[in-house]
Structure 1
Amino acid sequence: MAWSTRDLADLAGTTVKTVRHYHDRGLLAEPERAANGYKQYRAEHLVRLLQIRRLSELGFSLSQIRDFEPGLMVDARGRSGQGDGAVVRDGGRAEEVGEMHSALRALDAELAADISRRQQMREGIAAILDHGTAMDLPSGFGEVRGTLTEADRGLLLVYSQVLDAKSVASLRAMLAEVKSTEASREFQSISPNASAEVRDNLARRYAPQVKAIGEKYGWADLLDDVPRRRRRRLQQAIGEAMVQLYNRAQIDVLVRVEEINGTAGEDRAPAESEETSD
């Protein structure tokens, strides 16, 4: 019994266009034609088409599939066989099998990374649906969502690019705590035209809180694992963001906080993180 192109496509769960594409790429042999010119596909074409689909589902490219020999088996150690489990020892064959084994390992790594990325996407969506977290925030910040300002969100996004999951969780806990302080609330609402006396008074009350919370959560150590060059770029980006997102009174308060806590000449991350937390 012979099948038409449409029949073959239906049996394989694909489309006529795909079958023709496989012909053009040299993956599927052309069948014989009947006297009327119509193609006559047989069982071997269906099997080959199903093999192509299977390898494609695994992630192999069409170029790789074209070179794939039907029936080739690869065991856990990268050896080859032909369905009966016999190991092929031919030198050229062994090289081909080694390449296939490496390709499978690479595909597996890509799939693992993709699964991890998609799981993170799901967790982020769940946080938005369950807690109402802003969609532009890293996942897990639902508990502090109502107290985050535009500056907070901007700096959080910058930090999330370099901090690992544990550090981001620490930052989240730190934010939740620092946001509960009266000095933090005053910092958020301070007028850009506040007097020097008001700014100094706020800085003196805010500095000990910033220092205590930073030490509690080990903020000074969070960036230790970030390469020095990247850490400098991060700090520059944070500095630029602060200038644009905070008003002049807030920036002055933060500078005073650093001076009081003795961090003015050091890495700016601890104070900046607290700024974030204000």
Structure 2
Amino acid sequence: MAWSTRELAELAGTTVKSVRYYHQIGLLDEPDRAPNGYKRYEVSHLTRLLQIKRLAGLGVPLAQVAEIGTKDSDGLASIFRTIDAELEATVEHIQNIRQELAVLSRPGASTDVPTGFSAVAAPLRDNDRALLTIYAQLYSDESMDSVRRILEADPNPELDEAFRDLPEDADDATRQALAERLAPVVRRPGGDHPVKLVPKATTPHQSAAVHSTIQHALEALYNQAQLDVLRRARQIGTEPG
């Protein structure tokens, strides 16, 4: 018994286009033809097509499907272990997406702050939210957890508003007074930073890029008076008591 291309594709649960493509790349041998010129597929072709379909369904690249018959057991195991590791990473990625979707589905969740920051987002302005989003991209999860805990546990709405409302043309006395109030937040007694921001960067070049990006973001998101206050606050925080 022989089958046409369409019949073979239907039996294997695939498409005529796929069968022809497998011929084109050398995965499936061309069958003999009947006197009328039509292809005549045999059981061996169906078996091979089912094997190709199975391996491709498992994630084996078609380029490696062709090599399967030439690999020893160690070679085969290596191919399948690699695919399994890739699937594991994909599953982890999907789980992370589902966790984030679960958080975003809660009442009051916000998409313009990093995951987990919705509870502290209400008083934040657009520039604060933008900076947090950039932080989440560049700094470790542990760093962001620390930032969130500070925002949750140590709120000072009046001081926050004074900084956020500081005009570009604020005079020197106003800047200095605000810097002195901010200094304990920028650097706590004993010389410990409230938050230690650890970049995700793994090379000196990447670390330099993180520093440059944050500096650029600060300059874009806050006015010069605010940046001056932050510089003064850090300087006060480093001075001997």
Structure 2 length-normalised TM: 0.83
Alignment of 1:87-236 (within 5 A): 96-131=72-107, 133-135=109-111, 137-212=113-188, 219-220=195-196, 222=198, 227-236=203-212
Structure 1 stretch 239-248 or stretch 196-205: which is displaced more? Answer: 196-205
Q: Which residue of 1 aligns with 2:39?
A: 39
TM-score by length of 1: 0.73
8 Å Cα contact 1:31-1:41 kept in structure 2: yes
CA distance in 2, matches of 1:230, 1:8: 54
Change in Cα spacing, 1:224 to 1:14, as seen in structure 2 (3 Å) is closer
- Using the TM superposition, give the Cα deviation of residue 224 of structure 1 relative to its aligned residue in structure 2, in angstroms: 10
Corresponding letter in the other structure for 1:200: Q
Q: Percent identity?
A: 39
Partners in 2 of 1:213 and 1:6 — Cα distance? 79
C-alpha deviations, 1:81-124, integer Å up to 9, x for none? xxxxxxxxxxxx7x633332222222222222222223223333
Provide the rounded CA distance (Å) in 1 between the counterparts of 2:130 and 2:47: 55
Q: CA RMSD in A?
A: 3.0
- The answer for the alignment partner of 1:76 in structure 2 is none
Unaligned runs of 5+ in 1: 70-92, 264-278
Residues 38-92 of structure 1: CA distance to partner in whole angstroms, max 9, x if unpaired?
Answer: 22223322221111111112222212111222xxxxxxxxxxxxxxxxxxxxxxx
Q: 1:124 and 1:259 mapped to 2: Cα distance?
A: 38
What CA distance in whole angstroms lies between the structure 2 residues aligned with 1:213 and 1:98?
60
Equivalent pair of 1:178/1:213 in contact (CA under 8 Å): no
Answer yes or no: is the 8 Å Cα contact 2:139–2:199 preserved in 1: yes
> In structure 2, how many angstroms separate the alpha carbons of the residues matched to 1:218 and 1:179?
13
Mapped to 2, the partners of 1:131 and 1:235 lie a distance apart of 35
Which amino acid in the other structure matches residue 209 of structure 1? V
Against the structure 1 CA distance between its residues 28 and 13, is the aligned structure 2 distance closer, same or farther, given a 3 Å change threshold? Answer: same
Matches within 5 A, 1:22-33: 22-33=22-33
Count of matched residue pairs: 239
1:16 aligns with 2:16: yes
Three-state SS of the structure 1 residue aligned to 2:72 is helix
Whether the 8 Å contact between 2:138 and 2:200 is mirrored in structure 1 is no
Distance 1:55 1:198, change over 3 A: same
Unpaired segments ≥5 residues, structure 2 = none
- Label 1:233 to 1:214 Cα distance change in 2 as closer, same or farther (>3 A): farther
